[in-house]
Chains A and B, each alone.
Chain A
């Protein structure tokens, strides 16, 4: 079983703060790295798919970077809003075809 680690486990910020969290993974057998957002009472939704070392993706105030050589990805949220409150999951897809998820970072943004 691959070890995909996310840190921190939880984060509490004030509205307007910028924040970031980390996903670490073994760099061997890398195929793709996914970020998902999981809001309470909803299904996880895809944010980004990243495949190339040095990839940077952006969607509104949320962006992500990928370093496959050292085995990490960062997710950044600029100017956090209460609606950003959710659990953010990263998942490593290997050549074997399955994905291994991290335990997630739960973000709470206080108004």
Chain B
């Protein structure tokens, strides 16, 4: 079975802090994604990566950056956290059949 793990299930940070959210997949998938999910809204794509050191902006990249130094790891960085970044963050990796496999999510609260 594909396994996608995220570094934390719950995280509380203060405004202005730098925040790292880590995602690791164990199936050698090339494509990885970061989404956020807010009440009443679907998953919104922040960034995706189709290979090591490659990244593409999604629909809502403002205030975020990403890092893909190794194939299995895709990190989401909030350079200076703000209260409007309080959300559920989901990481996914995509198989060759186009199916996305999701991690358990990180619920981030920025105070």
Contact = CB atoms under 8 A, between A and B. Distances in A.
A binds B: yes
A99 B50 CA distance: 13
Interface residues on B, range: 20 to 34
A11 to B, nearest CB: 15
A44 B104 CA distance: 9
A99 B43 CA distance: 10
B50 A44 contact: no
A44 B31 CA distance: 17
Interface residues of A, number: 23
B60 to A, nearest CB: 9
B13 interface: no
Contacts of B41: 103
Given A99-B45, A100-B45, A101-B42, A46 B100 contact: yes
The 5 closest A-B pairs by CB, nearest first: A101-B42, A43-B102, A101-B43, A103-B42, A46-B99
Interface of B: 4, 31, 33, 35, 40-45, 48, 50, 56, 58-59, 90, 97-105
Given A49-B98, A97-B56, A98-B58, 10 more contacts: A43-B90, A43-B105, A44-B43, A44-B100, A46-B101, A93-B98, A97-B31, A98-B33, A100-B45, A103-B42
